[in-house]
A and B are shown apart, each in its own frame.
Chain A
Amino acid sequence: DSGVTQTPKHLITATGQRVTLRCSPRSGDLSVYWYQQSLDQGLQFLIQYYNGEERAKGNILERFSAQQFPDLHSELNLSSLELGDSALYFCASSARNGGYGYTFGSGTRLTVV
């Protein structure tokens, strides 16, 4: 157990729908990072939050949004889902506002049908 908790583990939904993925970082970690892993694109950085504030943005679609709450858990919202959004979504956390020593969760496997 890495200490980073992601729920749900699996999600199957239809095109056009909206889903919310949840991440609880390791105790004491202030930064949360979201990554998308697909077979053809590898691990792609989506967005980072540090202590509730957005700090960096990657190749995140406008249909996707995220936030980090005062208790430091984070949610990734995916809307108007398309078949191509099917992927593994990982959350990682680190103690500081920096990429050293990420700890990843086990991911949420999203299948859009």
Chain B
Amino acid sequence: QQQVKQSPQSLIVQKGGISIINCAYENTAFDYFPWYQQFPGKGPALLIAIRPDVSEKKEGRFTISFNKSAKQFSLHIMDSQPGDSATYFCAASKEGGKLIFGQGTELSVKP
């Protein structure tokens, strides 16, 4: 019940394309769903987050879509750029507790 499953493991997208990463969770008590971006040699950095009372949140080129009934959420990166090449992690927590992370998606945006 504590798992967060993330797919795909790796993703190659052309510059200007849309990158889509999906996550699924089991624990319906989770109430906070962030996405983190990690570049090589750096720690994960918070990108965008959503609460289950909204179905979508957009910040610039990054959008989280949230489907409470399906217990799924996804990250969409519009107009993907080579600088977006990084590893992306979804995560979930309940009542402000520890974050449970997905396994990560290595995104490569080709010029």
Contact = CB atoms under 8 A, between A and B. Distances in A.
Given A98-B97, A99-B32, A42 B42 contact: no
Nearest to B94: A99
A101 B48 CA distance: 10
Interface string A70-88: 0000000000000000000
Which secondary structure dominates where chain B touches chain A?
Answer: loop
B60 interface: no
Interface string A82-113: 00000000101000111111111111000000
Contact of A96 (B34, B96, B99): B96
Nearest to A47: B98
By size class, the interface of chain A is 20 to 34
A48 interface: yes
Interface of B: 32, 34, 36, 41-46, 49, 89, 93, 95-104
